[in-house]
Amino acid sequence: MNLLMCPVCHKQLKLTDKTWRCDNNHSYDVAKQGYVNLHVVQHKHSKNPGDTPESVQARRAFLSAGHYAPLQQAAVEKIKALRIENLLDIGCGEGYYTNAMHSEVMQCVGVDIAKNAVQAAAKLNKNITWVVGTGSTLPVLEHSVDLCTSLFSPIPKDEILRVLKPQGYLMVVTPGPQHLYALREALFEEVQAHDPHKFAHQLEDAFELTEELIIDAPMVLPQQDLKNLIAMTPYAYKAKPERRLALEAQAEIELTAQFQIFIFQKK
């Protein structure tokens, strides 16, 4: 079954000859790169929302080097254990996690608001339905999805509840308390531990928390990988330029990434 929904009239979309079309004849062409843009103008708040091309390139280079592979592997193992048919990855970015998670399901949709990120993602795997869209109106039919995933991305709670099947699952990945602590100490005068459980509290009325775990990923980053890591995070513009430049001058740095994985089930 096609999972996609027309963002204008909310009817089911069907794919014919590289065009997604609904019963009301709203149509959306598949771009030559292999994605479809369902982010209609009335839902836009800026001309080019989401990550910048520079951030997308930096993330692709950093993740391709394997530094966050422990998280990717853990997410895939959790999906394998759930034994589901389809998933919707919200905020898929350039597709690093989506591409890996696709191996454990029959149908996979990756959606992101940043067109340049989805363009990059579409080059990874032609068997995934890649969509430019917004979390505030997920372009997916209601009660059609077994699992929604949100890795370092927004959690549009009401929309997730709409698209999930009864007893469907939600996987949320957030920074763990000590995520990149040494990096943040170098970039900022005051550093506090992340509080990953604030997301859980926001969801507890509609979801049951069934599992949580922490994944540590120690790494030694050469200079270019360090620059890519900073460029792909909000640290790039939040840190003072002189602190960033001093850190990026180092030949290498030892860091530990820490990820918190939550598995929720819809009540």
Domain boundaries, the chain: 37-216+256-266
The confidence band for 160, taking pLDDT boundaries of 50, 70 and 90, is very high
More confident residue, 245 or 45: 245
Q: Which two tokens stand for residue 254?
A: 């030892």
CB atoms within 10 A of CB 124: 19
**CATH code reported for the domain at 37-216+256-266:** 3.40.50.150
- Residue 59: what residue type? R
Say which residues have a Cβ less than 8 Å from residue 246's Cβ, sequence separation at least 6.
186
Q: What is the mean pLDDT of residues 155-182?
A: 97
Binding residues: 6, 9, 22, 26, 68, 94-95, 179
pLDDT tens-place string over residues 191-203: 999 998 888 889 9
- Residue 65: what residue type? A
Measure the CA angle with vertex 265, ends 206 and 59; round to 5°: 100
Angle between helices 115-122 and 53-64 in degrees, nearest 10: 40
The CB-side HSE value for 219 (13 A sphere, CA atoms) comes to: 25
The confidence band for 83, taking pLDDT boundaries of 50, 70 and 90, is very high
Binding residues for S-adenosyl-L-methionine: 68, 94-95, 179
Angle between helices 223-231 and 53-64 in degrees, nearest 10: 130
pLDDT tens-place string over residues 232-264: 998 989 999 999 999 999 999 999 999 999 999
pLDDT tens-place string over residues 84-142: 999 999 999 999 999 999 999 999 999 999 999 999 999 999 999 999 999 999 999 99
Pairing of strands 252-266, 164-175: antiparallel
Kind and range of the H or E element at 35?
A: strand 35-37
Report pTM. 0.95
Cα 62 to chain center, whole Å?
15
Binding residues for Zn(2+): 6, 9, 22, 26
